[in-house]
Structure 1
Amino acid sequence: MKPVHLIPALALALVLAACGGEPDQPAKDAHANDAADHGTEADEHGHEADEVASTVIAAEVAEKSGIKTQPAGPGVIADEHEVQGLLTPVEGRVAQVTARFPGPIRSLRANVGDPVRAGQVLATIESNLSLSTYSVAAPISGVVVERSASVGGLASEGAPLFEIADLSQLWVDLHIFGADAQHIQPGVPVAVTRMSDGETVRTTLERVLPGMATASQSTVARATIDNADNQWRPGTAVKARITVAQEPVDLMVPLTALQSMDGQESVFVREGETYLTRHVELGARDATQVQILSGLSEGEEVVVAESYLIKADIGKEGAAHDH
């Protein structure tokens, strides 16, 4: 009787061995197929959603963190040359104040840095010839940049007492080296930046001077800036970006949008409160913008401020999933 009972048991064992856990396989296959289908599904912008790194940040948290977005779109990439230069007074707007007759200086009524107007009395001098006192007035309006006299001192005829400069406008002399000088012509835009605090003013290149600057062996290109508020000082070193050409592009984003993800240049796109990684191919760039050749569509909301926070948050999400 025992052989009769062993046959079904042996048959069941063989079936289980052959199956090797097959009853669980359909569930695994279904999950794998679902993941594969999700991985190759394209979103509404035509980007494949295969393993797209993302994170969710509540709108109020994003606002408090300074995260800002703007739609990707067309624009202009500038071909720019960055140079350095120096601010100088405009020629013809500097005047010397001199004594007409020799004699002792009885009073001085202005100091270096004082603003003066044309006709304002700056000094009185007792003439050695007539023994009478006469006044010396400012020939132009401007700022006293130098005083070379003192009360009680002797003024010689024609000797300078003051130097006055009209600083309402200043020249920007920019030094251009080598082959760059061949690409820079008058009439192109110039952005002049003060090195001390980053203040920038925009103007136009007026002329490229003939010859070379003796000390630096550079070509000097000159522009003029307005200085009505007297915040720009002669002798100040500045840097400038000279735009020699502008190229329209179909799609671009600010450089602040770029982050490196998985060794690739990337941007983050906001969809509601979800931030998605987009690997992008870059084209031309200038000091502030970069062309996007692929990986992004016009109109998508791209993170342009505090994008590193999105990168860090996605990195935390990935670390959490790894564990």
Structure 2
Amino acid sequence: MLISQEVYTRSGALFDQTIYPANSGKKLIPLKQNKTTAIYGGYSGSKAAYMSIIRLRDKKGGTYRIVGIPVRAVNKLNQAKKKSNEKYLAELKAVIEPQIAKTKKDRKTGQRVLVPQEFDVIIPEVMYRQLIVDGDQKFTLGSSTYQYNARQLVLDSESLVTLSKNFIESNSVTSEIKNNRLIKVYDDILDKVNKYFSLYDKNKFRQRLNEGREKFIRLPIDSKFKNNKKIAVGKREILQNILIGLHDNAGMGNLKVLGINTPFGMIQTSNGITLSPNACLIYQSPTGLFERKVYLNTISSLK
């Protein structure tokens, strides 16, 4: 089945709406230029209009990383682009540099200071939901820190029948058969996840799905309620939540009953998504019939 996602940029709100106090322990953005965060507090983060891919000049020989370009910086960037490519690149680097700077303790003062990192801009504008393949991982970008699975889960025909409403509600099928068939669906999903979904090693999702099998087996077929309050989660509900978290979109499932406390499918890298030099960006037509592949290791840095 051909599936393509619409790519887009964002505009509108410049910051997250919550204002945090100075002692919140968060890295804050000033409310105004003349209001220091140490006294007045500030916003916890800015909204990104789109993203850029950069290459860090580190000891590893060049790490590719995705960074967000704030909405508040777009106007200046557009103005600089009209003047010259040099001014645009300088302005873009000025936006990116604070995001990737490392924090280091000054031996003389004891204070923590920001140490800039050298980097090159590889792709200046990358849109939300851009499709990327990196090794055996296939995903779209939800932000500079969030990845959305883009690999389709294909179950065998017996599993599809088991998940159907007609099978579960059939009076000719015993509860024991239904229960065993639901366990077989779980095993079918596990088999596919273990073979093809390495992206779910983030947050140890894949490991914990395997570890949660025995807990799944002990669950009832359907969720149980008492006085309109859920008192037990059933196998069918858990399978639906697994499928939501594995789906080719941003959906997340609740699998706390299996010992997975993080919303299943929330693929987040707090310091920014990193890519290998062999990562490939796939630009698709709206129909998904045509596509163009661009490998990072074939792109020269912006100059």
TM-score range, shorter chain: under 0.3
Which structure has the highest strand share of the two? 1
Larger RCO: Structure 1 or Structure 2 (Cα < 8 Å, ≥ 6 residues apart)? 1
TM-score, length basis structure 1: 0.21
TM-score, length basis structure 2: 0.22
Q: Which has the larger radius of gyration?
A: 1
Which structure has the highest helix share of the two? 2
